[in-house]
Structure 1
Amino acid sequence: MTSTKSAGAAARPHRWAAGAGRVVAGTTLLTAVTLLPWLSGTDPALTVLRARSADQDPTPAQLAAVREQLGLDEGPFTHLARWLGGLPRGDAGTSWVSGEPVLPQVASAFAVSTTLMLGALVVTLVVAALVSARTLRLGSRQEPPPGRPGTGAAFLAALPKFLLAALLATVFGVWLGWFPSSGWAGPASMVLPALALGVPSGAMIGGLVDQSLPAAFTEPWVRTWHACGFRPGRIALRALRGTVAGVLPQFLPTVVALVGGAVAVEKVFNIPGLGRLALDAAIAQDLPPLQTATLALALLGVAAGLLVQALRHALLGPALRDGGLAAPRRSAVRPPRSTRWVAGLCALTLLALVVAGSLRDPLHVDTAARLLPPSAAHPLGTDALGRDLLARLGHGALRTASLALAVTAVSVVAGLLLGLAGRVAAGLTEVMSTLPAVLVGLLTTAVAGPSVWGAAAAVCLVGWTPYAAQTAALSEQERASGHVLASISCGAGPTHLLRRHLLPAVLPAVLRNALLRLPTAVLVLASLGFLGLGEQPPTPEWGRLLAENQPYLELAPWTVLGSAGALVLLSVLAMSGAALGRRKA
């Protein structure tokens, strides 16, 4: 009883720190959003007036009337204080563009996005179970696990959500007519969007579980349970319980973020969700709905973070609190030789595409060769302007890969530093995990203007959350293990614990996670470039090739096959590298 009370007393400062972090993060975020019209470099009255009436040449009197009506001359902080003061009364203000109350709009969009998120969560769990089922079955029967994730999982994880959404809408909505291809009219409208969002997320989560299971099955208790005659199913559940506890924080930035980050999918299916509402409000500089949507996303992130934390503690039990966790073991499973062959084949294929494309002109326009199918003259076909797709793929490879690697490296370093801070940074992680990268891109563009580096900064500002959540979870489990407590009792200081215990336990798993998410960084950068916030045309870039050719998917599917295939090859190469890295770790 005494140890329990002391543990609870020691945890109170951490809870206060986490709560303070949530308040500070939410306040900073809302303040930054409020400053958007004043930072954008354009007259907010002009933007709002154009959104209202599409008038391109308003008079100074009209602009002055709009400024007076909206109170723009009073400054951002007066507006923020007035908006916050109305929230306790259920008043979130009125839209600057439509003049309608904001709260009903945001509540309706939040309900739609939350329903869609729950459907995507079901799909995510099913796909993750299928991806990790083989390793779970073999490990529970004391058979050697495969040692590498399947190529199918890498393919699914690399699928661009907006491209998958367009494909599902075309095949199952338009051609077959099984489900609605547009709108939000009932449960049937949720099927295709949930699949588009949940399949790549499930492959990502399943890949993380699949990589963590072999280490769980090499722990001593597994041999003991087999010797005692426990059934494989019970052993599988026990191993899965500990493994899921380490992967569970990834649900926060991967699944919960779908509420605000599913803008492209919402546009494809014409769904009135919260992410689309926030994006439209940010583009129109319609501040009241943008502030309210941002607050709803932040509150959702905090609630989901608390739920994930409670589930982790329920799975790990009092051992996490009392320091009774067993020392984690590194995976002793050696990846099969085929993993190296797969990695080599993917690398050679990508190299061949890059070299062949680099010998061609990516900017040559031939209007007589628009949307030509693959041929000897154009191995990957041509786009809507008659440009050679192989040339654009080859010339965009170095820029795409280097920028994605740089963004991922910065995100990993930031995630490690904030994750090792523990509960202090937990609130910031929860708040930022649900924020759409597009909205952050609009904020950075308002300050620095549209550029590839502004888009990279926007991705870094939200891209660190998966690594911070994973680092915090793994370091918490490591600190609760017996060998760390023994080191502390022997006088080990913080530097020794960090260098000898925490980093060796955390860093390999975080780096494997970064490899799995590398194609995702490419796609997020592409979505920002497509909206005019990042890489500008006619610069060739893989993700931009996908985005600008997506409207021609039904008419000329080859326009997206090259860049999509390159992303799949990159994803398989990354997953193979993660499997090889697991053995070295």
Structure 2
Amino acid sequence: MRRVFAEMTRRPSTLLALLLILVVVLSALGAPWLAPFAPDDQPFDGLSLEGAPLAPGAKYWLGTDTLGRDLLSRLLFGARTSLVIGLVANGVAVVIGMLVGTVAGYSGGMFGGALMRFTDLMMAFPALLLAIVLAALLHPSLWIVAMVIALVNWVQVARVVYTETRGLAERDFILAERSLGAGHGRILFRHIAPHLMPTAIVYGTLGIATTVLLEATLSFLGVGVQPPQPSWGNIIFESQSYFQAAPWLVFIPGAVILATALSFNLVGDTLRDLLDPTQRGRG
């Protein structure tokens, strides 16, 4: 891991992405101390005399929203929501995908085939549409949204892990372990699982970007995290009617979402190049 981290820091784009991720994480953790206002505070001078949001200025660095709340404070607290959902939802998705893919690939036969046909069935549904339906059926909240996203994002991991496990199960060292009488648990945890860890790390990183974008999309459509709890998606959703009069209310949260997703994608791509032996030497 030290070698991987050293290699990542030698790449300027990846180093910049790591710094941006660090800034977002520290901002989310330090939101109660960094935010100049509480996210739901509505100062008496937060709107103009005409009732319009205030442009960025000395007191409100990023301006105010349609209710006079400080946009910077809401972005900082919204980072906590988006990152919690990104980490929890993607973590659960990776665990489910690893479990299904490993069991299906190792067991094979009708049971493994049935698991993968179910995975294919889940892949046939558009992820966004399925997430909207599930979120609409359940009462949207932070944890419900995280679980909904996890339930639609595990299939890609399962498919990749299944293919890798099928290849590993036929390797000579696995066959030798079986001939020596090793149990299924020992083979899975001592020999197959370590070979799958690079895949888990790569998809665990790449999936955070997808999860953050999906959460923002659901919140923008009104079936994600519900106000007054701030998230980057519902900040844009609440401000879309002021797109022309106060464009900073849409552009600034959109730029934050874009920068965060791009940073996680860059880090994930670099990890894939370094950890996946099939990718080394390409490009």
**TM-score, normalised to structure 2's length?**
0.73
CA displacement at 1:517 relative to structure 2 = 1.8
Letter in 1 for 2:65: D
3-state SS of 2:161 partner: helix
Structure 1 residues 466 and 391 mapped into 2: Cα distance closer, same or farther (>3 Å)? same
- 2:87 counterpart SS class: helix
Q: Does 1:367 align with 2:41?
A: no
Q: CA deviation at 1:442?
A: 3.5
CA distance in structure 1 between the partners assigned to 2:167 and 2:66 by the alignment: 53
Q: Percent identity?
A: 30
1:99-118 correspondence runs (5 A) = none
Task: Quickly say closer, same or farther: Cα 1:437–1:560, change in 2 above 3 A.
Answer: same
1:383 is matched by which residue type in structure 2? Answer: D
- d(CA) in 2 for partners of 1:357, 1:543: 21
**2:59 counterpart (374, 377, 384):** 377
The 5 A counterparts of 1:246-395 are: 334-338=7-11, 341-343=15-17, 345-350=19-24, 351=26, 355=31, 358-365=35-42, 366-368=46-48, 370-395=52-77
Q: Encode CA deviations 1:268-311: one digit per residue, 9 max, x unaligned.
A: xxxxxxxxxxxxxxxxxxxxxxxxxxxxxxxxxxxxxxxxxxxx
Q: Secondary structure at the match of 2:7?
A: coil
User: CA, structure 1 residues 557+395, in 2 after alignment: closer, same or farther (shift >3 Å)?
Assistant: same
Ranges in structure 2 where 5+ consecutive residues have no aligned partner: 105-112, 277-283
2-side partners of 1:527 and 1:427: how far apart? Answer: 28
- Amino acid corresponding to residue 381 of structure 1 in structure 2: G
Amino acid in the other structure paired with 1:373: A
Distance 1:503 1:407, change over 3 A: same
| Aligned with residue 403 of structure 1, among 65, 68, 85 | 85
Q: Provide the C-alpha distance between the structure 2 equivalents of 1:376 and 1:434, rounded to a whole number of angstroms.
A: 51
Secondary structure at the residue paired with 1:420? helix
Question: Distance in 2 between the 1:449 and 1:568 partners?
Answer: 28
Paired position in structure 2 for 1:479: 169
Pairs within 5 Å for 1:145-294: none
CA contact under 8 A between 1:441 and 1:455: conserved in structure 2? no
Q: Deviations over 1:249-281 (max 9, x none)?
A: xxxxxxxxxxxxxxxxxxxxxxxxxxxxxxxxx
CA contact (8 A) 1:357 1:393 kept: no
AA in 2 matched with 1:395 = F
Relative to structure 1, the CA distance from residue 487 to residue 364 in structure 2 (aligned partners, 3 Å threshold; closer, same or farther) is same
Two-structure CA RMSD over aligned residues (Å): 3.4
The Cα shift of 1:391 comes to: 0.9
Q: Which of these residues, 524, 531, 536, is aligned with residue 214 of structure 2? A: 524
- Once residues 156 and 56 of structure 2 are traced to their aligned partners in structure 1, the CA distance between those partners, rounded to angstroms, is 39
Cα offsets for 1:435-456 (capped at 9, x unmatched): 344445544653x434333323
Q: Does 1:565 align with 2:243?
A: no
1:389–1:562 CA contact under 8 A, matched in 2: no
Give the conservation status (yes or no) of the 8 Å contact 1:450–1:532. Answer: no
Q: Which runs of 5+ in 1 are unaligned?
A: 1-330
Q: Which amino acid aligns with 1:517?
A: G
The answer to whether the Cα contact below 8 Å between 1:381 and 1:388 also exists between their aligned partners in 2 is: yes
| Residue 253 (structure 1) aligns with | none
* 3-state SS of 1:335 partner: helix
Describe the superposition over 1:532-572 as per-residue Cα deviations: whole angstroms up to 9, x where unpaired.
43321122112222333345445543223332333344335
Task: Count residues with an aligned counterpart.
Answer: 255
User: Distance between the aligned counterparts of 2:185 and 2:71, measured in 1?
Assistant: 52
Aligned mates of 2:177, 2:158 — CA distance in 1:
25
Deviation of the 1:475 alpha carbon: 1.3
Q: Name the structure 2 match of 1:263.
A: none
CA distance in 1, matches of 2:139, 2:262: 35
Q: 2: CA distance between counterparts of 1:528 and 1:566?
A: 17
- Matched to 1:558, the amino acid is W
CA contact (8 A) 1:526 1:547 kept: no
- 1:510 corresponds to: 200
In 2, Cα distance between equivalents of 1:486 and 1:553: 65
Q: Structure 2: which amino acid aligns with 1:337? A: R
Rate the CA distance shift 1:493–1:583 in 2: closer, same or farther, 3 A: same
Decide which structure has the larger Cα Rg and report it.
1
> Residue 370 of structure 1 contacts residue 387 of structure 1 at CA under 8 Å; is this kept in 2?
no
Cα-to-partner distance string for 1:168-220 (whole Å, 9 max, x where unaligned) = xxxxxxxxxxxxxxxxxxxxxxxxxxxxxxxxxxxxxxxxxxxxxxxxxxxxx
- Partner of residue 281, structure 2: none
Asked if residue 459 in structure 1 is aligned to residue 110 in structure 2, the reply is: no
Post-superposition shift, 1:415?
A: 0.9
